[in-house]
Structures are given as structure tokens and as C-alpha cells.
């Protein structure tokens, strides 16, 4: 099904999550695969940001064409829209009994309940209310590590809320967070307690702010291949600089050269692992041929995929997680940064070896 009818839109010009309500509804329809949409209201006088590939008609509704009717007084999760578009005639109601989705076509419509949390009714005020809370859950990644999920996201989402209605773009946020991380790595090269702790804290701040670019992109529908690549390599540039500068700092503090070699080993192994993950993600993104995140990991592995494929995806997710930064801060505070250097020099090559082993059959495909 390629046609949708947005019925009785409400609060069309109100903003939530960096977009006007109507803009968000139309972007969701396009992401769900629809190519044509009717809006049962005149086109607003103000400028609208409309999704590419969606033909929008205003005022009158469709005439007899099979379609998905979507309540303009609700926001609906993308997964619910896709499920409805893929099925036959049916009607989905929310917990209050209001019709949110209806597939109109030949045959009797089955009555189905919407899954909990699949929609939210639009009611003022949008900001700071139930709609805002419902929407911000859309910005969270399912592959976050424990610390990122329970601590970092709380901070990054608060920052993202402040940025949503500003001109700051996701790519600008990526560059800013990368600069913070590189500054922190540079401080680690000093080989002294104070700069080392400050550097570790800046790397933690980079790790936290690094969530903002993806949150902005997901909430504003601004994901792009360039943004995904910039985010991926920005993170890994910080990781490589962290290992190199930490090795140099420990070497300076101890008056010997071999710790610099450990840092080089960790940086080289981490960069090689990143390159393998990048090439694999690039293949998946090309095959997907749709807007969305560049790096998906286990999120894009089919449930019936081979065990080796799932293990590789799990390893790639580990590469994307940032919980290790809490260990860095703790060891910096305890004056034990050489321990982190040793752990990195051992763990990074082992991670690379595991990735190479699991990818051995597809490296040259």
C-alpha cells in the first residue's frame, strides 16, 4: 500500500521535537513507505519541510483508492504504520477506543488494538507534556550499553531538548563532540595526575555528547550517509587518539618508551576493527537503500540469521558502545592510568582477532 490519508490534523503548526506536528506526521508516512498522502485540511500558510518522495495533496481526500487512514490527532510509531500498511482491511484503536489507523479496501475491516505505546494523542501543551516524553523515547538506541542507557542518555537527551529548535545540525554536534574528545586525549599525553584526570573527564563528556547528534538526527528525520560516516569515524578518531596519547603520557611519566608502543598497538588494533565494521556497515547501508542509521549492528540482523552473523553483529555493537569510558575516569581518579593502557593493549588486539575470525569467510566478498 502506497497511499495514506491524514484525517483531521490537529495542532499542525505546533512544534515538538524540532518539527511541526504536520511535518512529523508526513515524514513518518514517508518512512513507512508511502508515496502519496492526502491531508484533510488546507495547506498552512507558513513554510513546511516536506519529505522527498512523498506527493502531498491538500483539502479533499482520496476517491475510492485503497489507503491507510491515519488519525491527524495522534502521533504513531513507525513500526505500527509499517505493520498496518502491510496488512489487509483492519481498524486499530488506542486504549481510549479512538480509531488511530484504518486500512480501507475491499473486504470487512477487522478490529485490532494498538500495542501499548504505539501512539499518543496530541494535546497541548506539547512541550514538557506526555507527547514530548513519548517522542523522546524515539531518540534512544536499543543497543546502548548499561551506563550509556542509565546515565549518559539522561544527560544527552537534556542537551538535545535544548538544541532541537536551534540551527545546530547533527553533523555540527558530531564535530563539536569529537573536538572535545580530542582535547581530552591531548591532555592525557601530559603524563601528570591533574591533566590526566581532566583529560579522562573530557573524553567522558565527548562520549555523553556524542549521543546528541544521533538524537537530533532521529527526532528531526535528518539521518544521512555523511552524518553516519562522520559520527562513526569521529568516535574512532577519538579512540585512536586516546590510546596514542595515553601511551605517550605513561611513557613520559615513567621515563621509558615501551608504554608508547602499547598505545600504538591499541590504537592500530582499534582502528583496524573500526575499518572492518565500517566496510560491513557500508555494505548493509547500500543494500538497505533507505534513510536510516549508518551503523545498525544487531538491530538489522534477521532473527533466523546464522549464529556467526549474530556474533559479528554483537561484536560490532560492542565497538559502538562507550561504557569503557567510566573505567578510564575511575582509573584516572585513582592514579592508575597505566592499568587502562595495559587493558587496552591486550583487549584491542583480542577484539580485532575475534572480529577477523568471525569475518574470515566474507572479508573478500
Domain end marker among 67, 101, 134: 134
pTM, full prediction: 0.86
Which is nearest to 195 in space by CA: 115, 155, 253, 270?
A: 253
Q: What's the CATH code of the domain at 7?
A: 3.90.550
Radius of gyration of the CA atoms of the chain, in A: 24
What per-residue confidence (pLDDT) applies to 169? 96
Domain end marker among 134, 156, 181: 134
- Cell readout for 269 is 588494533
Q: Are 30 and 11 in contact (CB under 8 A)?
A: no
Same-domain status, 120 and 224: no
Q: What's the CATH code of the domain at 169?
A: 1.20.120.1760
Residue span of the structural domain in which 71 resides = 3-134
For 205-248, what is each residue's pLDDT tens digit?
999 999 999 999 999 999 988 998 999 999 999 999 999 999 99
Q: CA 59, CA 50: separation in Å to the nearest integer?
A: 17
Same-domain status, 174 and 193: yes
Same-domain status, 213 and 311: yes
Same-domain status, 157 and 228: yes
First to last CA, the chain: 35
- 296 domain residue, yes or no: yes
Which is nearest to 207 in space by CA: 225, 243, 182, 172?
A: 182
Q: Are 210 and 235 in contact (CB under 8 A)?
A: yes
Same-domain status, 71 and 214: no
Counted domains in the chain: 2
pLDDT: which is higher, 236 or 307: 236
* Residue the block writes with cell 555523511: 226
- 331 domain residue, yes or no: yes
What per-residue confidence (pLDDT) applies to 302? 46
Which is nearest to 117 in space by CA: 99, 141, 140, 133?
A: 133
Same-domain status, 181 and 284: yes
- 140 domain residue, yes or no: no
What per-residue confidence (pLDDT) applies to 289? 55
For 107-134, what is each residue's pLDDT tens digit?
667 888 888 899 999 988 888 888 988 9
- 139 domain residue, yes or no: no
Please list, in sequence order, all residues whose beta carbon lies within 8 angstroms of the beta carbon of residue 350, skipping any fewer than 6 positions away.
none
Same-domain status, 171 and 282: yes
pLDDT at position 347 over 80: yes
pLDDT at position 305 over 60: no
Q: CA 154, CA 148: separation in Å to the nearest integer?
A: 9
Q: How many CA atoms lie within 13 A of 75 on its CB side?
A: 29
Range with the lowest mean pLDDT among 112-121, 210-219, 261-270, 319-328? 319-328
- 103 domain residue, yes or no: yes
Which is nearest to 280 in space by CA: 359, 218, 182, 167?
A: 359
- 127 domain residue, yes or no: yes
Same-domain status, 344 and 203: yes
- Percentage of residues of the chain with pLDDT beyond 70: 86
Domain end marker among 111, 134, 157: 134
- 363 domain residue, yes or no: no
- Cell readout for 204 is 567522558
Residues pairing with 68 in the sheet: 4, 103
Residue 5 in 3-state DSSP?
Answer: strand
- 364 domain residue, yes or no: no
Amino acid at each position: 500500500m502506497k497511499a495514506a490519508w491524514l484525517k483531521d490534523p490537529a495542532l499542525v503548526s505546533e512544534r515538538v521535537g524540532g518539527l511541526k506536528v504536520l511535518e512529523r506526521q508526513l515524514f513518518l508516512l514517508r518512512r513507512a513507505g508511502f508515496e502519496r498522502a492526502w491531508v484533510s485540511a488546507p495547506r498552512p500558510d507558513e513554510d513546511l519541510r516536506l519529505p522527498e518522495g512523498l506527493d502531498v495533496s491538500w483539502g479533499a481526500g482520496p476517491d475510492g483508492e485503497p489507503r491507510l487512514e491515519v488519525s491527524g490527532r495522534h502521533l504513531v510509531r513507525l513500526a505500527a504504520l509499517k505493520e498496518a500498511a502491510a496488512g489487509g482491511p483492519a481498524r486499530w484503536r488506542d486504549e481510549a477506543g479512538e480509531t488511530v489507523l484504518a486500512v480501507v479496501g475491499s473486504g470487512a475491516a477487522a478490529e485490532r488494538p494498538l500495542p501499548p505505546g504505539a501512539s499518543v494523542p496530541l494535546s497541548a501543551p506539547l512541550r514538557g507534556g506526555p507527547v514530548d516524553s513519548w517522542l523522546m523515547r524515539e531518540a534512544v538506541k536499543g543497543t546502548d550499553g548499561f551506563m550509556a542507557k542509565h546515565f549518559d542518555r539522561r544527560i544527552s537527551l537534556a542537551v538535545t531538548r535544548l538544541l532541537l529548535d536551534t540551527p545546530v545540525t547533527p553533523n555540527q554536534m558530531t564535530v563539536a563532540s569529537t573536538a572535545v574528545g580530542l582535547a581530552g586525549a591531548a591532555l592525557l599525553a601530559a603524563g601528570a595526575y591533574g591533566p590526566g584526570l581532566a583529560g579522562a573527564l573530557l573524553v567522558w563528556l565527548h562520549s555523553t555528547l556524542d549521543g546528541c547528534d544521533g538524537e537530533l538526527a532521529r527526532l528531526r528525520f535528518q539521518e544521512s550517509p555523511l552524518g553516519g560516516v562522520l559520527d562513526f569515524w569521529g568516535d574512532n578518531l577519538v579512540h585512536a587518539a586516546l590510546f596514542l596519547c595515553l601511551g605517550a603520557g605513561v611513557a613520559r611519566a615513567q621515563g621509558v618508551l615501551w608504554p608508547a608502543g602499547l598505545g600504538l598497538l591499541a590504537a592500530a588494533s582499534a582502528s583496524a576493527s573500526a575499518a572492518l565494521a565500517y566496510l560491513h556497515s557500508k555494505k548493509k547501508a547500500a543494500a538497505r537503500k533507505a534513510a536510516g542509521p549508518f551503523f545498525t549492528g544487531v538491530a538489522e540482523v534477521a532473527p533466523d540469521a546464522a549464529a556467526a552473523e549474530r556474533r559479528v553483529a554483537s561484536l560490532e555493537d560492542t565497538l559502538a558502545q562507550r561504557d569503557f569510558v567510566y573505567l578510564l575516569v575511575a582509573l584516572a581518579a585513582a592514579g592508575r592510568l597505566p592499568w587502562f593502557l595495559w587493558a587496552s593493549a591486550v583487549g584491542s588486539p583480542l577484539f580485532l582477532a575475534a572480529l577477523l575470525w568471525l569475518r574470515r569467510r566474507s572479508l573478500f566478498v
